[in-house]
Copies of this chain bind each other. A is one copy, B any other.
Amino acid sequence: MEEFMFRENLSAMARERLGESEIAEMITLVLENGAISFGAGEPSHDLFPKEGIREAFVDAFDDPDIWGYYHDSYGDTGLRAWIAERMGLDSMAPAWVAPEHVLLTNGGGEAVSLVSEALIDAGSVVLVESPTYTETLLTFRKQGAVCALVPSDDDGLIPEEMERILARLRARFLYTIPNFQNPSGRTSPVERRKKILEIARRHDLAIVEDDPYHYLSYDGAAPESYLRLAGDDKRVIHCNSFSKTLAPGLRVGWAIVPPALASVFEPLRVSAGLGRPALVQKAVHAYLGGIDFSMRIAGLCSEYKRRRDVMLEMIARHLSPLGIRTNVPKGGFFIWAQVPADTREDFDSGAFAKHAVTAEKIGVIPGNAFYPEKTREGARAFRLSYAKIKTDDMEEGVARLARAWNAFA
């Protein structure tokens, strides 16, 4: 019997808008080559609060509500109240944000996915930072968005560049990772955020703020969020996650849903398999209720800052002399490396990354993984993550990268 190939049965989404992940490909190469990796954009396993979470599950099992269909498809009311309160205390949320606006999701990625369904039609223009997070680009492309790149510098989005784009294009929303951005490590200062908000108001632009690195700010709190700065304007949908502060395997994230969108997100959640597991949400809530969250954050920041500092030192020793330019992230996991201006015109960091992982056994993610399509900018940059790597391995890793550069460029 001939196999049915679904040729005439696929959606435009399935036929035209999905594709392989360049990051997944690099991670596979890292594993195959037994390489040191500056590739993985994930938190460090030795920092997961394993014992605390395990004990919190014992408490969660005492709750009879974990077994049936949870009555509220937005998720566990206790965790939602914790999030609303904490975001208020930490200058992340304005006064109107209450537990009823907190929608629990399968990590921050699902929050972005729900937002995409609510705001994107095929052909809709969405503004994104240049560069931006790979999986979000896939999520937007899946819905048929045309992603317009807003030029960015070491301080993130450039407001004037955004205004210039909006003068000729109508866009549905701006997607921004304002703090310690993935992949660039960049943070937008509060003055720029205010300018961006003001431009958004003039152009009826919604803002989707994806802020999973918020709490990993090494020197004092991160700048005020777009959500908070917008206040009663309520044009910001804020997406966040416990993946970086607790552990990604829990798959607990959230969105702050503005009141005008409540009637949209409720059926979107129901139509994709009802709520997410209340047991896990209740365990996260029980864990958070039993610790000093600020202390936990301080511990994480201190360790990640130490790793960043060692990484920067190694970069100064091995890469800077080669003319490779890197920034100094004030938090998070990522450094953005750009090749010298006089590098040959046909240089491609994708080919470089493949050479580095196979010949020198060091993994980095090529810049174009973070652009909707191949760009010269992306071909001349790559992402370095220092979150997960032992500081002992950093010098060896950076030295390998320098050798790969010398052989390839």
CB contact list, A135-152 vs B, under 8 A:
135, 138-139, 142-143
Supposing A264-B10, A278-B249 touch, asked if A106 and B273 sit within 8 A by C-beta, the answer is yes
Give A11-37 as 1s and 0s: 1 = Cβ < 8 Å from B's Cβ atoms.
Answer: 111100011110000000000000000
Closest residue of B by beta carbon distance from A137: B271
Give the docked Cα–Cα distance between A388 and B4 (Å).
40
Residues of the B chain whose Cβ atoms lie less than 8 Å from the Cβ of A233 = 1-4
Which of A3, A6, A43: most chain B CB closer than 10 A?
A6
Residue-wise, chain A 256-286 has the 8 Å CB interface mask toward B (1 for contact) of 0011110110011011111111111000000
| Segment touching B, from A112-120, A183-191, A375-383 | A112-120
Count of chain A residues with Cβ under 8 Å from any Cβ of B?
86
* In the complex, A5 has a CB within 8 A of chain B: yes
Residues from chain B with a CB closer than 8 A to the CB of A138 are 267, 270-271
Query: Residue A305 at the B interface, CB < 8 A?
Result: no
Is A347 part of the contact surface with B, judged by Cβ < 8 Å?
no
Would you call A124 and B271 a contact (CB within 8 A)? no
Given A68-B249, A113-B272, answer yes or no on A124-B234 (Cβ-Cβ < 8 Å): no
Which residues on the B side are within 8 Å of A298 (C-beta)? Answer: none
Q: Are B253 and A273 in contact (CB under 8 A)?
A: yes
Q: Is the CB of A260 within 8 A of B21?
A: no
Least Cβ–Cβ distance between A135 and chain B, in angstroms: 6
Neighbour of A267 across the interface among B119, B142, B277, B280, CB < 8 A: B142
Known: A11-B143, A206-B6. A279 touches B234 (CB 8 A): no
Determine the chain B residues whose CB is within 8 A of the CB of A268 once the complex forms.
14, 18, 142
Nearest CB on B from A286, distance (A): 14
Docked Cα-Cα span, A139 to B1, in Å, equals: 32
Give Cα A278 to B268, complex, Å.
Answer: 24
B274 touches A251 (CB 8 A): yes
| A4 in complex: contacting residue of B10, B142, B235, CB < 8 Å | B235
Bound form: Cα–Cα A262–B261 in Å: 34
CA distance A102 to B26 in the complex (A): 25
* Residue A355 is within 8 A (CB to CB) of chain B in the complex: no
Q: Please give the count of copies of this chain that the complex contains.
A: 2
Whether, in the assembled complex, A54 has its beta carbon less than 8 Å from a beta carbon of chain B, the answer is yes
- Interface residue from B57, B113, B260, B264 paired with A57 (Cβ < 8 Å): B57
A110 closest partner in B (C-beta): B273
Q: Report whether B121 and A68 are in contact in the complex, using a CB–CB cutoff of 8 Å.
A: no
Beta-carbon contact of B273 and A251 below 8 Å:
yes
Evaluate contact between A277 and B249: CB separation under 8 angstroms. Answer: yes
Which residue of chain B lies nearest to A12 when distances are taken between CB atoms in the complex? B121
Query: Does A92 count as interface, using CB distance less than 8 angstroms?
Result: no
Within 8 Å by CB of A9, from B172, B232, B275, lies: B172
Contact in complex: B118, A258 (CB < 8 Å): no
B206 touches A4 (CB 8 A): yes
**From residue A42, how far is it (CB to closest CB) to chain B in Å?**
5
CB of A107 within 8 A of CB of B273, answer: yes
Chain B residue with Cβ nearest A96 = B3
Contact A54 B61 (CB under 8 A): yes
Expressed in whole angstroms, the minimum distance between the Cβ of A74 and any Cβ of chain B is 13
What 1/0 mask marks residues of chain A from 100 to 130 whose CB sits below 8 Å from any chain B CB? 0000011111110100011111001000000
Given pairs A67-B248, A251-B274, 5 additional interface contacts (CB within 8 A): A3-B232, A67-B247, A106-B273, A138-B267, A139-B271
User: Which 6 A-B pairs have CB atoms at the shortest separation, nearest pair first?
Assistant: A110-B273, A109-B273, A4-B235, A18-B267, A106-B273, A113-B272
